[in-house]
Each structure stands twice: as C-alpha cells, then as structure tokens.
Structure 1
C-alpha cells in the first residue's frame, strides 16, 4: 500500500485533515531521525510534476512515520536541480524553537515541573504541549535561549535538559515530551552473522571495565576528631572475568557510607550503565537485507523495531551479546519501510549528557541578579559572626583541615565550610558533601 504525502499552505486546525496529495516524486522521499538530534524530511520532486508550482518554502508536509503516525514537517528549502526540485523540511516540533525563554529556573523539580516552567516562561503563545514522564528531581536553568536548544541543544553554554535528566525528547506533532526513554524492550534477539555485507559493525572496547575497586564516603558515625578513611570494597566483578580479560578501574560515590550500599551502587554500573560492554554500533542497510533471501528472517526482526527500541545483538568477532537501541533511522514514508537503521549502545553521542564517575547529573548553580543585594547582606552577617558558627581543627593535634560548621559536633553539622591544602568548599548536606561551591588549588572554581 502506497502512503501519500500531503501538502498544506498552512497548518490545519484538525491534524487529521488531508491536504493536497503529492505523488510525482522522482526518487523515494525519506524521513531521517536520530536520538535527541534531528527529525527531517527530504524529497526530490519532478520538475514537471502536477504540483511543482505549489511546493514552496515555509509550506507544510504530512508524511507517514515508522511508529504508525502521520507527522507534520515545515519546508525549509526548495532547490531546483537538473531533473527536479529537492525539498528539505524539519519536523513541526522544531517550530517551537522560534520562541524564546528569557529566564526559567527550577530549584528542584521532576520532568513535568521543569517542562511546565519552560512553557510558562515563553515569550510567544504557541500550540505546543510540554510533557514529561521523568519522575526524578533535578535543578535546571534556561536563560536567554530558545526552548528546543534548552532541551536538546547548547542551552546557552549550560547543560541541556536531556543531559541533566538523562532523558530523551520525543516529538509527536505539537506534543514535546521529555521521556525517561523512547521505545521499548521487547526482548528482540538478533544474530547478524559473520559475513553479512549489509551490516557495518563498529566495536570500541577501549573503555570497557569489568572489575571495580569501589570507594565510598566516611561512615556517618565517624569521630571527626580522628582522621578516618572512607569505606572501600575490592573487587566487584561481572561473571566470566578472568586474568586474561580483566580490566580494573576505580569508581567513587561519597554518598555510600556502608560496604553494602557501595556494592549495590557498583552493581548498577554493570546492570544499568553497562560499563562492561564495548561501545557498539550496527549500521544496517535494510534494502540489501530485504532483497537477500538468506536473511529474510533477520530483515523481519529488524523491521519490527521502532525508534528507541532495544535489541540484543550477538557480535561477529566476540563471543558476547550486547544491548543496543535503534538510535537512528532513514525511512521511506510512501512505502512504510526502513531504508537503513543504526543500532547502538553509545547513547552519549546522541544525548549530549555529561557523565562523571560519581553522578550523571551535573547541576548548575545560578545567582539571580535581583537577589544580589540580599545575598551580600546575608553573607556579611555570616562572615562577621552575627549568625554564629563553630570551628574545628581536624584532627586536633596535627590538623590537616579546618571545618567551620553550624553545629558544635561534626556528625550533626549540615552547613559546613572545609578548608585544606587542596582548596576551600561549602556543603549544605553535612561534612561529607557534596561540595557544590568550591575553589581548588589548581585554579578551578565550581
């Protein structure tokens, strides 16, 4: 069944409405989408096509996509070539980027609350809905930036929202949804074989870690007058590790105060972050695969995947199976078939998230100009001693650090300044941090 592509002079009020059918294509039109990046349409229309004079920049197209829905695209360029006119269009969701956010700030909110804050601080009224299913809480700031840039772009030099929340942006016409993940894990298992020319396999095992030496924080019941070491555990391994294939690395999390908590956290690095698996991509030429009788079964399996779905892939030259997701595709909307897909597990290339060994969320601290005077007055009272404070030399006899606290007992203190030979920092959550405001001896200011 051939799926039609429709042309509109302007966006219809009813998205189910069909526009002018555009059928005189010189080549098969294509839709390309990649995770947290692009969602675009490309087509080459005949010079003598019936509707060639109607196809113009800034008009709209509607085309059938891989998830069974029709999506709208706005034409951004129309260029004449020897045999036709090439048309490039962007998904209608990018029209939200014509708007502007002067300042939106959420101190601690879930995905829905942050998306609501972005929408409520827009300059223009647009029909876009800002949704989210992200349940975790985060701090986020978007200042003097367009909304799509704030969510998946450069965010005016700050970390974008998908990076802060470790999330993904889904576009469904006028609905923009920040999701914990796009797609599903239905247990698809695919063995591409060892000599399949239509599959390009790339494996990077340079960053694989399969055995961990774990370092946590100082236990809560510590006597801070005596220098104490943090809890440690060595070693946590995945199954099948031998002296021939072992790769050991250290990971730290100061929030883990017991060995049991440290081991549980370390296991999540294997179970969720998959640090023991190589970074893999499979670029699949679906056209070649479909027309090769020997691999019809593989074609049917891959063709059932939707954008973001998980597949379990056996690697050609390694006796292991890895989890990969569909992170990119090129789709023929008129045929309702994939031209090509990219499966991979290196999502950092697409999410623009900033990962650290301790925490995948890198929170931003913002000082509001309208609070500056109050902040200066408040700081003056603290520094001059009007609001109290307790000083502790740790350890007492040969101190290696100075602690200035809101409580006389270090174990009870929440607001803490710590100063040692390596730097100066402030924590609002106790002696073990986190020290979100800091100046270190190498010249770095957090």
Structure 2
C-alpha cells in the first residue's frame, strides 16, 4: 500500500516524510488525461491527526501510475470543501499547473522552428521565472507567435488549449514529470496488450460506436460542367470498405467532394475510394471507459502483467472478434488509486490520425434530399411559368413621370379599374387582387416584414416561429446524428436512424441500440382488485433495471439494480433515514439477511431494549466475545457483597429437553435432544427478563462473573488451608512433600 505525503508550501526536500503521510485519507485518486494537467482528489476526516495542517498551497506527493515516470509526483492543494459528515474533500493540481499563475511576457514571432526551440522561448518569457526544464523530440517545423501581448493570458495556455499554442502548431503529446515538461511525438509506447472486446468486456458507448460505424461512403459533388450546374453521384451509389461484409447491413456516410471539383464519375469514385482507405471506413472507433477489473478480464493471463504496467498514451490493440476486425487505441485517460496502487478506471480512445477530409454530418439520407429537391424544383417551375407567361399587363409610373413616387403593374391602364395590382414604392413591394387600394395579401415592407399566404423554400431558418398552430402529417427536428419525430400522437427520438425512445399518452418506452427491441417502459397501471391507478417502471425480460448516481463529470455509479432472471433487488449501499442529510435511522421490517457482511470500517449495532435472538450456534471462529469494562465508563465502584460460593450452591443444574411446540415457526425451533443447564425460575440470581417476549433468560455475562468470583473464594479457602497445613506440619516436624 502506498500513501500520499503532505508537505508545507515551501518544501524543497521531498526525500523526507514532510508533515506526514496522509494515513487517514480516503479515496485518494490521481486523474490524468492526454495533454491535460493531472489532478488529485481525496477526502480527509476532520478529526484526523493532520487535518489542521492541510491548507491550500500545501504540497502532496504521490504516485499517479505504475511506472517510474509516474512516481513521486507533486500536487498543490487548490481547494478544500466545507466539512460534511465529518470529512472534507481536497482538490489538488499537478505542480505544472503553477504555469496558470505565471504570465508570458511578449516576445517575437518565429517561423520554421522546431518544437524544442519553441519550448525554449516559452521558458525564457515566463514571469516570474520557474524551474521548468523542457524537451521535445517532435520533428515538425512550424511557426509560433509570442509577440501579441495578452493573447496568452497565462503561460499554461501557450503550452496548449488555446489558438496558436505550441501543442496546436507542432502537435505531439505532453509528459508532465514534476518540473520537467516533455512534448513527445508519442508519449507512450506500444504495450503489446490485445483487448478482446465482447467476451468479458462490453460498453454501451462502444456498442453505439460499433452499431454506428459507417461501412460505406455515398459520395457526391456539386460541380459546373459546360456552364451547367450538376450533382455528380455514382451509378452504384456507394463505395464500400473491405469490412462491409462483417456488418449486418450497409450504413453509408454521405460525403461532399465539391471542394475537390471532380469532373467525371470516375474522378468522384477515385476520390471516394481514397477516402475510404485514408479514414479506415468500416473500422469501429474505440471509445471505452471501463474499470480496471473489467479490463483485466478481457486479456489473456499472459498479458496481465503488461496491462498492469500500461501508462497514459500507451497504444493497445482492441480486437472486435465478432467482426474479425482489429483497431488501434490509445490510453487517453486514467484514474489511479494511490493507496491500492492500481488503476481504478482506464479510458481508451481512437488512435487513428486526423481525417484528411472531415466527415461532414448529414441530416437526411439521399432519398429524403432528392424528395425535397423535387418539391422545391416543382415550386420553382410553377413560379417560372407564371413569370414567363404573365398575360398582358401595364407598367405605370405614379402619379406622373415628372413626380415618380411609385411603380405600378396593372391588369388595365387605369388604376381605378385595375384589380390585379403590383405596387412598389418607398414602403415596400406588394400585390393586391382587389385593386389599387388593397388589400395587399402578398407584401414585403420596409419594416422587415414579409406577408404571404404561401411560402415555398428549401430551407427556412428562423430564430422564432410564432403561430396559432403548425400542422402536418408529421413534425420533425433534426441534429447532427439525431432527430425527433412527432407523428400520429407519438413523440419518437432517433439516433442514427435507430429508434431510441417513444412517448404516447400512456407510456414512455426505451429501446435497445438495435432500434427495435424494447428495453423497458415508464407507464400507467391499474390494480385489478382495487382499481387504483399508479405509475410503474418496468424492464423487459433479459433487461437490467437500475438506478445510478452521477458525479457531474459524465460518470455514473449504479446504486440499485434488478438483474434479469432475478427476483432480488441489488443495492450497493442502502442508507435508511428521514432525510437526505438526516442523522436519524430508518427501519427495515420483516427482512431476512442472506450472506450479509458488515465492512470492517463500520459497526453492527443493536440499541438498548432490543431483543437479539439466535436460533443457531454463534461461531466466533476463534475470536473473542467482548464486554465493555473501561473504568472511564463506571462510577460508584465498591467491593462486591456477592458471596460466590453461596450463590453458586443455590444453582440447581438439571438435565432436560425443550418443548417442541414452544414456537410454531420452523426457523425458530429450540435445540433437540437432552440438554444440561439451569432453570431460570430456580436461579433467581441469574434470571433476567429480556425484551421481545415474556420468557425468562439466564444472564450468561453474570454467570461468567459469578463463576470467577466463586473461583476466587475457593482459591482463598485453598490457600488458607495450605497455610494451616504447613504450620501443622512444622509443629509435627514433618517434611514438606510438595
């Protein structure tokens, strides 16, 4: 077991134990992310010996991983919460975070330099100076601009996380080792670990990643050929990846190659084929965040040691055996349990290079797009026909050419007789079917308003739509890969065109990631006997029903679960009380415990005047039965007047058998066969009435003490007899034969 060690803010020698090891700290967890500043969190009791010494600014030294580069890392305490339930939570940031408190003086703009030179310039511009050392093996030559004052508000932003930073311009992966900052082409190594996904390891996010993996590309391009705008597509529609046959169905991604300006179908096909290869279309993206224990189950026994030594940014292979596909992944986040010296969680992410051409999110598939294009084009053709075949009209400048205020287009030469009137003036443009004075049912006015009975458009963008009602066969909202559909009184949510949830007047249902199988529902119910209505949360056969609690970071811990095929409710931690922060106790009635264990950090307590009955032998497995006897808990102490021998002589030991009809409960039967012991009614000194029933009991604690007192009195008698015997022997001149 390893312990975090507390040091004062001014400490420079970390070979000593400093203020002391934080032995009473709980949940000491060190979190690291790729190109992120490491963090440390733990809780500490307010009655702990070092509580008063824990202050913001103090340093904590501990390991953050299994290997040498992760040992003895220094953290600065940045926040301490207010005490709650007798403990506080402490937050600390890696010592490299001091760059947040450091400004970057304005420098110069450099072009064509290496990452090492950029880091050197960064270190020279720090104010105040810090004892950092920097190194980089990144061979990329790029530009970096330190000349604009205030662009980097603090020095850490210049390392990464802001436009124009060293990380953005040069790439790479940071290694933070106390004051040593290294920007490496690869901060990790090829671990040789092969993780078999699907055998003992599954993950909902990864399942979604697999199910939404594109197997093919649907390429298109909007181009101008011979002065005519055209949309190029492939006659075969798709370009498939070599893995397409490993999936149950084709899932195509629409990709726009307009910016590459292909001039033929063959050029478009070549671009799509190269895209499929460069971007590993058909290979699932790795997105796994799992506990170390679950991860260990997914590797061969021969690789356990390698897994234990995996570090941040190391590369692993994820084998999707059901698809016969292997993907490369990187360790992008870790949570290290400092005290247990093992990983709590490991997060794996996609390790493939950035896409050469970004896959643009598409909201509709090809058929939907074509349908909408046809609809708009029909409206365009209708408008074209009306404008090219308008019938006879008359253009009038009103009121006169000498004083031109308005431009009119009339169906007659006289504004008094015209019925169809176009009117254009400083107020706007409008059309009336009822003459010059209106009403203008179609108008565009200078206050920004457009009035129309019908608007046909391919895309309508609006901040707000206000109306009495919006009607249609369906109403749909779409996102990058999700949509919500309101149709036939049902609200449905889809993810990648797979049904995720639906809601109608009686129930809310959730679906499996296959978009078809119902997982469970929240619905109205009615008791057939009482006709009382209620609300029920149900899970379908083979589906787990759980209740989880989040930590605000997207992580959820299951607290309650009903497992498939089980009639039991599994609860990780059940706390009974009348309120969230209540110190009162709740009650569990008519409960039966099976394989229940009290953790060694807690106590099993039975309060006063509570009957505790055993109907089986109490096996202490070699441990003691203790009774409180501390003098600090006693008063009015005096020598007892109990005469042990006299009380013991009055005890009447008998042989007997218990009555079989004493209790009717088959689980509460008394021992069978002949017994040896006392009868409480004949042993008044030891008899006691216990809560729970009206039967007398024997006080075993009192009996043990009585036996001891009796033995003491007998010992005193024996010693007196021995003394008397020796004196008689001396008088008689007899030798001591003992």
Task: Report the TM-score, using the length of structure 2 for normalisation.
Answer: 0.39
Alignment of 1:73-88 (within 5 A): 73-79=75-81, 80-88=83-91
**Is this contact kept in 2: 1:76–1:89, CA < 8 A?**
yes
Aligned to 2:331: 326
1:343 shift after superposition? 0.8
What is the aligned-residue RMSD (CA, Å)?
A: 4.3
| Alpha-carbon distance in structure 2 between the residues aligned to 1:34 and 1:199 | 21
Unaligned runs of 5+ in 1: 216-233, 255-262, 359-446
1:41 shift after superposition? 0.3
Residue 107, structure 1, aligned to residue 115, structure 2: no
| Alpha-carbon distance in structure 2 between the residues aligned to 1:4 and 1:60 | 14
Aligned to 2:426: none
Residue 284, structure 1, aligned to residue 290, structure 2: yes
| Alpha-carbon distance in structure 1 between the residues aligned to 2:317 and 2:298 | 23
| Alpha-carbon distance in structure 1 between the residues aligned to 2:298 and 2:43 | 30
| Alpha-carbon distance in structure 2 between the residues aligned to 1:267 and 1:186 | 30
| Alpha-carbon distance in structure 1 between the residues aligned to 2:331 and 2:58 | 30
**C-alpha spacing 1:344/1:202, structure 2 compared with 1 (3 Å):** farther
Aligned to 1:92: 95
Residue 54, structure 1, aligned to residue 53, structure 2: yes
**C-alpha spacing 1:312/1:295, structure 2 compared with 1 (3 Å):** closer
**C-alpha spacing 1:278/1:180, structure 2 compared with 1 (3 Å):** same
Rg bigger for which structure? 2
Residue 151, structure 1, aligned to residue 153, structure 2: no
**Is this contact kept in 1: 2:59–2:76, CA < 8 A?**
yes
Residue 168, structure 1, aligned to residue 170, structure 2: no
| Alpha-carbon distance in structure 1 between the residues aligned to 2:105 and 2:116 | 20
**Is this contact kept in 1: 2:217–2:252, CA < 8 A?**
yes
| Alpha-carbon distance in structure 2 between the residues aligned to 1:92 and 1:30 | 16
| Alpha-carbon distance in structure 2 between the residues aligned to 1:237 and 1:17 | 63
Per-residue CA distance 1:111-164 (angstroms, 9 max, x = gap): 1011112122222211112221111111122442122112222x3xx2433222
**C-alpha spacing 1:345/1:129, structure 2 compared with 1 (3 Å):** same
Task: Report the TM-score, using the length of structure 1 for normalisation.
Answer: 0.61
Q: Greater shift after overlay, 139-148 or 241-250?
A: 241-250
Aligned to 2:318: 313
| Alpha-carbon distance in structure 2 between the residues aligned to 1:267 and 1:12 | 57
Per-residue CA distance 1:281-304 (angstroms, 9 max, x = gap): 1112124566x7998677655323
1:93 shift after superposition? 0.7
Match of 2:182 among 174, 177, 181: 177
Alignment of 1:186-335 (within 5 A): 186-194=191-199, 196=201, 201-204=206-209, 208=214, 239-240=242-243, 270=277, 274=280, 277-287=283-293, 300-315=305-320, 318-335=323-340
1:22 shift after superposition? 2.2
| Alpha-carbon distance in structure 1 between the residues aligned to 2:244 and 2:198 | 25
For these two proteins, the number of residue pairs brought into alignment is 328
Aligned to 1:132: 136
- Larger RCO (CA under 8 A, 6+ residues apart): 1
Per-residue CA distance 1:355-383 (angstroms, 9 max, x = gap): 7639xxxxxxxxxxxxxxxxxxxxxxxxx
Unaligned runs of 5+ in 2: 222-233, 261-269, 359-738
Aligned to 1:34: 33
> 2:206 aligns to what SS in structure 1?
strand
Q: Greater shift after overlay, 243-252 or 130-139?
A: 243-252
Aligned to 2:42: 43
**C-alpha spacing 1:251/1:175, structure 2 compared with 1 (3 Å):** farther
> 2:348 aligns to what SS in structure 1?
strand
Per-residue CA distance 1:62-111 (angstroms, 9 max, x = gap): 00121332100000011222132211100001112211124342212111
| Alpha-carbon distance in structure 1 between the residues aligned to 2:257 and 2:13 | 53
| Alpha-carbon distance in structure 2 between the residues aligned to 1:253 and 1:170 | 38
**Is this contact kept in 2: 1:134–1:180, CA < 8 A?**
yes
| Alpha-carbon distance in structure 1 between the residues aligned to 2:284 and 2:170 | 24
